Amino acid sequence: MVVTAERTPLYDEHVRLGAQMTNFGGWVMPLQYSSIREEHRAVREAVGLFDLSHMGELRVKDEHLAQRVVTRDLARLRPGRIQYAMLCNEAGGIIDDILVYAVADGGYLMVVNAGNQDGDFDWIRAHSSFKSSSPVGGAIDVRVAGFPAWARQGGGSVFNVGPDWALVGVQGPRAVGLVARLTGAAVAEVKYYAFIEGKVADVACVISRTGYTGEDGFELFCGNEDAVRLWRALLEEGQTDGIRPAGLGARDTLRLEAGMRLHGNDIDAGTNPLEAGLDWTLSLDKDFIGRDAIVQARQRGLSRILVGFKMLDRSIPRHGYAIVNHDQRVGTVTSGNVSFTLGYNIGMAYVPPSLAQVGTRFGVDIRGTAAPAEVVALPFYKRPHPK
Amino acid sequence: MADLSGMRFAETHEWVRKDGDTATMGISQYAQSQLGDVIYLELPAVGQQLEAGARLGVIESVKAASDLYSPVGGEVSEVNQDLKDHPEYVNEDPYGKGWVIKLRGVKDNPKLLDQKAYDAFVQGQSGS
């Protein structure tokens, strides 16, 4: 059997930079270029450059449809602003965690996880006839050419624009200054979880002040054909900032320190947003798919809650390890690793509510030994001066 | 570049250098590059007896936890204490300051490969 994995427009750049490549969500992506530790440090102390082109981008023009599938009330989201929200199934399970961008031309852009993009697209499309008075009547275009896609008029309520778009993350304390030197746009004025359109290194971009690292910075969307030009310009201009290309390895250790959930690890279709500590992404006063099940789950009471914990010895918790209390298995680690920034080892786990209070101690079964751990508040790491 | 003459390798990617009836072991350059950033090692106590090929501990990188095997039989005489605070030595200098344990009363293991044979073995592995 031949398994083909997709390549981003930056694939040749990664190979040229000597990256170790890995398969992630159906894509061949850089795992690391030099060292995960060094790439992690560059993002915390200077600036790191990420290829995120594997992420999916769905243009949902139909506002009723978007409201129906997303857990958060988008009516309050002004154009140019971004919200983190869930797509849930009827049982309240998390199909995906996404960013919703409110587009000035109407409707939304949804940025979704790489491995979920086809499923998300099918899910949203399957519900596109929900509002029968929808002006577009549920017609679908699978792809649109050009960038940005919302410039295009025409029928359809959901477009998968991802195949034509690249995405580059610029993250770290020096990221804003770096991008500012490459653009005439007032990027420093863009608020956290807001976006503008503008040229960076003469490339037409959607400039989004978002990230998955716990640092300040931008995520820059551009057309596939411009991705190499944008990537190289950022690497070159960033030399004086100490820029490093950073792979998925560092992305994972960074997001874990920032307490950000990874779909497929910490949350999935079998977990609901209440258990995952994502109550704040729910607008239970509006109707959305999964709402009733979530309300019922809350009334019943939760049997498990996602917590952050730190190891009290030097052992490393990993996805799937058991949480033990008085020799009983009581929970499961969903993410765990070293925290390079904090200097100890950290993880997230589902545990019974009785063990979820900060300061509670339990064991992590590491190769048959119950290694001591203590519940701590999420996020593990907060950047010194958030904007 | 470290002097690898006299060093022999296991197919599980550990190296060993004998000196009389004592020996020093660690993991190969290829192994450290495959593991990536080493962050923790779980190592045996001094005095423990190991058979050739026995599991002696665990090496953890950011990516994964992997078992370590003893390339030769013997008694653990010393454990590299520097690796507690500097596990990255295994990446930076796998044949030098990244050594893992020392053994005494060493028994030979005829199955070990010399550097040339090990390099060919690694080529075959990464090529397949």
Compute the Cα dihedral for A225, A231, A236, A238 and give only its sign.
Answer: positive
Measured between CB atoms, does B62 come within 8 Å of chain A? Answer: yes
> Contacts of residue A315 in chain B, CB cutoff 8 Å?
40, 42
Q: In whole angstroms, give the CA distance from residue A273 to residue A283.
A: 11
Question: What CATH number belongs to B7-106?
Answer: 2.40.50.100
Of the candidate CATH numbers 3.90.1150.10, 2.60.15.10, 3.30.1360.120, 3.40.50.360, the domain formed by A6-53+164-257 belongs to 3.30.1360.120
Q: In whole angstroms, give the CA distance from residue A282 to residue A56.
A: 22
Architecture of the A56-157 domain: 2-Layer Sandwich (3.30)
The answer to whether residue B127 scores a pLDDT higher than 80 is: no
**Considering chain A, what percentage of its residues have pLDDT values greater than 90?**
86
**What would the pLDDT profile of A13-22 be if each residue is shown by its tens digit?**
999 999 999 9
Query: pTM of the predicted model, to two decimals?
Result: 0.92
Q: In whole angstroms, give the CA distance from residue A69 to residue A88.
A: 7
> Contacts of residue B55 in chain A, CB cutoff 8 Å?
none
**What would the pLDDT profile of A162-171 be if each residue is shown by its tens digit?**
888 999 999 9
Predicted confidence band at A160 (pLDDT cuts at 50, 70, 90)? confident
Whole-number pLDDT of residue B1: 54
Measured between CB atoms, does B40 come within 8 Å of chain A? Answer: yes
> Contacts of residue B84 in chain A, CB cutoff 8 Å?
314
Whole-number pLDDT of residue B79: 98
Instruction: Over range A248-268, report the average pLDDT.
Output: 98
Whole-number pLDDT of residue A340: 97
Task: Between A144 and B110, name the one with better pLDDT.
Answer: B110
**What would the pLDDT profile of B60-103 be if each residue is shown by its tens digit?**
999 999 999 999 999 999 999 999 999 999 999 999 999 999 99
The closest CB to that of B37, out of A36, A314, A315, belongs to A36
Residue A39 DSSP SS3 = helix
The domain locations on chain A are 6-53+164-257, 56-157, 303-376
> Contacts of residue B60 in chain A, CB cutoff 8 Å?
316
> Among the residues of chain A, which ranges form H helices?
11-16, 36-45, 63-69, 117-126, 175-181, 227-237, 248-257, 291-300
DSSP state letters, A202-231 = TEEEEEE---SSSS-EEEEEEEGGGHHHHH
Q: CA angle, A70 as apex, A65 and A74 as ends, to 5°? A: 80
Measured between CB atoms, does B109 come within 8 Å of chain A? Answer: no
Predicted confidence band at A158 (pLDDT cuts at 50, 70, 90)? confident
Whole-number pLDDT of residue A215: 98
CATH 2.40.30.110 fits A303-376, yes or no: yes
Q: How many helices (H) and strands (E) does chain A have?
A: 8, 20
The position carrying tokens 């949804």 is A110
Q: What pairs with residue A348 in β-bridges?
A: A308, A335
The answer to whether residue A154 scores a pLDDT higher than 80 is: no
Report CB contact under 8 Å: B63, A318.
no
* Omega cis (within 30) before A135: no
Whole-number pLDDT of residue A384: 85
Whole-number pLDDT of residue A135: 42
The answer to whether residue A139 scores a pLDDT higher than 50 is: no
Instruction: Over range A6-17, report the average pLDDT.
Output: 97
**What would the pLDDT profile of A63-81 be if each residue is shown by its tens digit?**
999 999 999 999 989 999 9
Closest B-chain CA to A318: B64
ipTM of the complex: 0.87
The answer to whether residue A145 scores a pLDDT higher than 90 is: no
